[in-house]
């Protein structure tokens, strides 16, 4: 089976559309590791797209916290994005996001999916921390994680640990939207980057009244 793995869309619709268009036609299912909303100017549209196109979706911290974002008062960009999301995402879409799992087993228990650390809520697992995930994988073949917005993969004691990178807000100094394709027959991974129209996002950010830094950071992948 071939799986497309995306994460950390963060309300960036042009990036999400570019990634969905780029996913190879032989992919069987698409997984989203969470943070569909937050920061960006098109949260509702991104929720609708992910709902329509992804077979499995996890809950990221922004998906969880936008209904009560007061814990983000120290982060101006994050707070503004969460408050904007709170205004735009309501009804069945809000309920759906609020009831997504933070982690789950997938593919008959072969893969552990988590937005962040497998056990510690909201903890970042950087590439150098991937070996720390290995003790949780005795019963799995692979673990897919998001949250850091940094793309990478590593085989640790015959177990694949993968972060597909961020669709909507990369932080690895590459401005292009990131995702991954995994072939579960041999656990090989192709890391993909896709160009998209950042100027369009810049205009959307201005229209939404969000901090200009939310758009400016996209050009530098940080």
Q: Are 146 and 17 in contact (CB under 8 A)?
A: no
pLDDT of residue 71: 87
Helix axes 43-53, 76-88, angle to 10 degrees: 70
pLDDT of residue 98: 97
pLDDT of residue 49: 98
For residue 161, give both structure tokens. 């640990």
The Cα-based distances of 52 to 30, 32, 45, 110, 115 in angstroms read 11, 12, 11, 24, 20
pLDDT digits (tens, 9 = 90+) for 68-104: 998 898 899 999 999 999 999 999 999 999 999 999 9
Query: DSSP per residue over 39-104, as a string?
Result: SSS-HHHHHHHHHHH-SEE---HHHHHTTSGGGGTT-HHHHHHHHHHHHH--HHHHHHHHTS-SEE
pLDDT digits (tens, 9 = 90+) for 41-66: 999 999 999 999 999 999 999 999 99
Summary mean pLDDT of the chain: 97
Domains with residue ranges and CATH for the chain? 2-220 (3.60.21.10)
Give the residue ranges of the chain where pLDDT is below 50. none
Cα–Cα distance between 163 and 52 in angstroms, integer? 22
């Amino acid at each position: 089976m071939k799986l497309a793995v995306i994460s950390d869309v963060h309300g960036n619709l042009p990036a999400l559309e570019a990634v969905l268009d780029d996913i190879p036609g032989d992919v069987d299912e698409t997984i989203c590791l969470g943070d569909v909303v937050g920061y960006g100017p098109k949260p509702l549209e991104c929720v609708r797209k992910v709902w329509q196109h992804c077979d499995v979706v996890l809950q990221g911290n922004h998906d969880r916290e936008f209904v009560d974002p007061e814990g983000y008062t120290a982060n101006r960009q994050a707070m503004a994005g969460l408050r904007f999301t709170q205004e735009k995402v309501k009804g069945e879409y809000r309920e759906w996001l609020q009831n997504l799992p933070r982690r789950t087993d997938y593919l008959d228990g072969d893969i552990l999916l988590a937005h962040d650390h497998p056990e510690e809520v909201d903890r970042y697992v950087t590439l150098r921390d991937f070996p720390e995930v290995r003790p949780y994988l005795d019963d799995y073949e692979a673990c897919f994680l998001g949250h850091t917005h940094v793309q990478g993969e590593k085989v640790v004691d015959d177990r694949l640990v993968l972060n597909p990178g961020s669709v909507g807000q990369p932080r690895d100094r590459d401005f292009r939207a990131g995702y991954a394709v995994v072939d579960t027959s041999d656990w090989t991974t192709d890391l993909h980057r896709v160009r998209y129209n950042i100027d369009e996002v810049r205009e959307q950010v201005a229209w939404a009244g969000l901090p200009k830094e939310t758009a400016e950071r996209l050009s530098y992948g940080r």
